[in-house]
Each structure stands twice: as structure tokens, then as C-alpha cells.
Amino acid sequence: MAPRPSPRAAALELARRDPVVERLIAAAGPPRLRPPLESHFAALLRAIVYQQLAGSAAAAIHRRVLAALEEIVTPTAVLATPEEALRSAGLSGNKLASIRDLAAKVLDGTVLLEPRRLARLPDEEMITRLSEVRGIGRWTAEMFLLFQLRRLDVWPVGDLGVRKGFGLAFGIEMPTPKALEALGDPFRPYRSILAWYCWRACDLYAAAGKSALTT
């Protein structure tokens, strides 16, 4: 099996294929996807805590949750920690139920997080498995694949930033999720990199009446 290309190498390949993407990469620089700093389970727990909360409030609750777990962020530790302690950290009843459901589904094998088994799991199957967890939908699963697992061909067509950025970059009306699915096909198998640059297009060109990349 050939080694997986780096995000930078994938970006160079996309630049070779498409002049619009080439100009966007020139404007935004190489992709900056930092290596994950926590375990897969800890990343998913963090994602649940942060849902529908402002960054500072979510960060404070997350710190208190870690303290309640005594910094042992594992499925077993979550299920062994009294519910009152986790609620006292600021978790809503729904988020507490989601975190405990995640822990239970990791332990029963519904959600696979062991690196060797995970490496063989196709993206769509991983998304399906994660979506069985209470409180985890397709978008959260896609962000996990893209940023935590660093998979290169994730295409989150339901993400507003990706849709808006694609429209800005290519000088078209913001596509619907269904339209964006097809528009991403020429960029397989590196659509994660394209998604990252669509977010950068929002940062760079959102104020422009016309795309600065297609003029």
C-alpha cells in the first residue's frame, strides 16, 4: 500500500488540477492541520461538550468535566463517575446522556476507536457508527474524521462555511448541500483539503462582492 500523502502534498495536487484552487492556496498558504492533541475518545467527549455553546463557556465546562473525571478521559471512567459530579460540572441532562451513551457504545464495540481497527474502517461506516451515539450527528462525525483522524477525503456538504467558501472561491451562488456533493467530485480523494480551503475563502473573501479568486 502506498503511503498516504501529506496535507501539503494533497494541496499541491489540487492546485495542479484546478486554477481556482491554485489561486486560493497561493492566497491562504499551505494547509495547517495540527496533529491531534488528545485521544479519540477525549476528542469526541469535547465535541459533545462544546455543542451549541460559546467557546469560553464550553471551555469552562469542559475543564470542570475533566476535573470530575480526575483527568482520566476514558469510557470506563465516564461510566464510573457519579452522574451528579458530571452534572455539577455544568453538563445538561442531554449532554450527560450523550457522553454516557458514547462511553457505552465504545465499550460495546458500536463505536470503534482502537487505532488498528479504525484504520480499516471506511469513512461512511465510521460516520454511521458515530451517528448511532445520542447527540452525535453527521457533521460532528465528519469533523472528527477530518480533524482528529486527519482523513483526506471528507466532504462536509452540510457545513455552511464550506458551502459559502466554495461559492466565494468559484464565483457562484452558494451551492446547496446536494449540489456541493457533485461539485466536490473532481477533487477526490482530497476533499478534506478543499473543505479546509473553503473555510479560508470565507475568511479571505467574505467581504468581496465578487470572488477575488476568479477575476
DSSP-assigned states of every residue in 88-143? HTT--HHHHHHHHHHHHHHHTTSS---HHHHHTS-HHHHHHHHHTSTT--HHHHHH
pTM: 0.91
The confidence band for 211, taking pLDDT boundaries of 50, 70 and 90, is very low
The confidence band for 54, taking pLDDT boundaries of 50, 70 and 90, is confident
Is 80 exceeded by the pLDDT of residue 209? no
Write phi, then psi, for 109 (nearest 5 degrees): 90, 0
Please tell me the distance from the alpha carbon of residue 192 to that of residue 42, in angstroms, as a whole number: 22
Q: What is the pLDDT of residues 180-206, one digit of tens each?
A: 999 999 999 999 999 999 999 999 987
Arithmetic mean of pLDDT, 121-127: 97
Contact assessment for residue 18 and residue 187, using Cβ atoms and an 8 Å cutoff? yes
- Angle at which helices 7-17 and 19-28 cross, to 10°: 140
Identify the structural domains of the chain with CATH numbers, from first to last. Answer: 7-33+154-205 (1.10.1670.40), 40-148 (1.10.340.30)
User: To which H or E segment does residue 38 belong?
Assistant: none
The confidence band for 173, taking pLDDT boundaries of 50, 70 and 90, is very high
Grid cell at residue 145: 474524521
Q: What is the pLDDT of residues 19-43, one digit of tens each?
A: 999 999 999 999 998 888 899 999 9
Q: Which of 135, 131, 134 is nearest to 145 (CA)?
A: 131
Please tell me the distance from the alpha carbon of residue 167 to that of residue 172, in angstroms, as a whole number: 5
Label residue 62 exposed, middle or buried (CB < 10 Å: 0-12, 13-18, 19+). buried
Give the DSSP letter of residue 161: H
DSSP string, 186-214: GGTT-HHHHHHHHHHHHHHHTT-SS-SS-
Write phi, then psi, for 58 (nearest 5 degrees): -65, -40
Arithmetic mean of pLDDT, 77-82: 98
- Angle at which helices 191-205 and 7-17 cross, to 10°: 80
Residues in the chain: 215
